Amino acid sequence: MPASEDIKFMRRCIDLAAGAEGNTYPNPLVGSVIVSQGRITGEGFHVRAGEAHAERVAVNSVISRGLPEDSVLYTNLEPCVHHGKTPPCTDLIIETGIKRIVAGTIDTSDRVGGRGVAALRNAGCEVITGVLEEECRWLNRRFFTFHEKKRPYVILKWAESADSFLDVERDIYNGRRRPTWITGKPERVLVHRWRAAEQSVLVGAGTLRADDSLLNVRDWAGNDPLKLILSSSGRLDKDSGIFHTGGSVTVFTHDPEAAGGYPAVIVPLERGLSSAVQILSHLHDSGIQSLFIEGGAEVLGMFISGGLWDEARIFHGRAMFGKGIPAPEIKGKVISRREFSASSLEIILNEAETPAAGSGRMD
pLDDT tens-digit series, residues 244-296: 888 889 999 999 988 777 889 999 999 999 999 999 999 999 999 999 999 89
pLDDT at 345 over 50: yes
With 90 as the cut, is the pLDDT of residue 164 above it? yes
CA distance 149 to 159: 28
Contact 14, 135 (CB under 8 A): yes
pLDDT at res. 177 = 53
Residue 61 has pLDDT above 90, yes or no: yes
Phi/psi at 91 (nearest 5 deg)? -60, -45
Q: Please give the Cα distance from 152 to 191 (Å, whole number).
A: 19
Confidence grade of residue 337 (pLDDT, cut at 50, 70, 90): very high
> CA 119 → CA 8, 53, 79, 154, distances in Å?
26, 17, 10, 34
Q: What is the pLDDT of residues 171-189, one digit of tens each?
A: 544 444 556 889 999 999 9
E-assigned strand segments in the chain:
31-36, 39-45, 72-75, 100-103, 126-129, 153-160, 165-167, 200-204, 226-230, 249-253, 265-268, 290-293, 311-317, 325-326, 333-339, 343-349
Nearest CA to 3 out of 163, 179, 131 is that of 131
Supply the residues annotated as catalytic.
55
- Tell me the CA end-to-end span of the chain in Å, nearest whole number: 30
Domain ranges of the chain: 4-139, 149-349
pTM of the model: 0.92
d(C-alpha 89, C-alpha 80), whole Å: 5
With 60 as the cut, is the pLDDT of residue 195 above it? yes
Under DSSP, is residue 52 helix (H, G, I), strand (E, B) or coil?
coil
Q: Provide the mean pLDDT of the chain.
A: 91
Specify the pLDDT at position 356: 55
**Separation CA 310–CA 84 (nearest Å):** 30
CATH architecture of structural domain 149-349: 3-Layer(aba) Sandwich (3.40)
Task: Give the domain 4-139 fold.
Answer: Cytidine Deaminase; domain 2 (3.40.140)
**Cβ distance 151 to 276 under 8 Å?**
no
At 296-322, the pLDDT tens digits run 999 999 999 999 999 999 999 999 999
Q: What is the rounded CA–CA span in Å between residue 104 and residue 270?
A: 42
Residues ≥6 apart with Cβ < 8 Å to 145: 151, 152, 153, 289, 310, 353, 354, 355
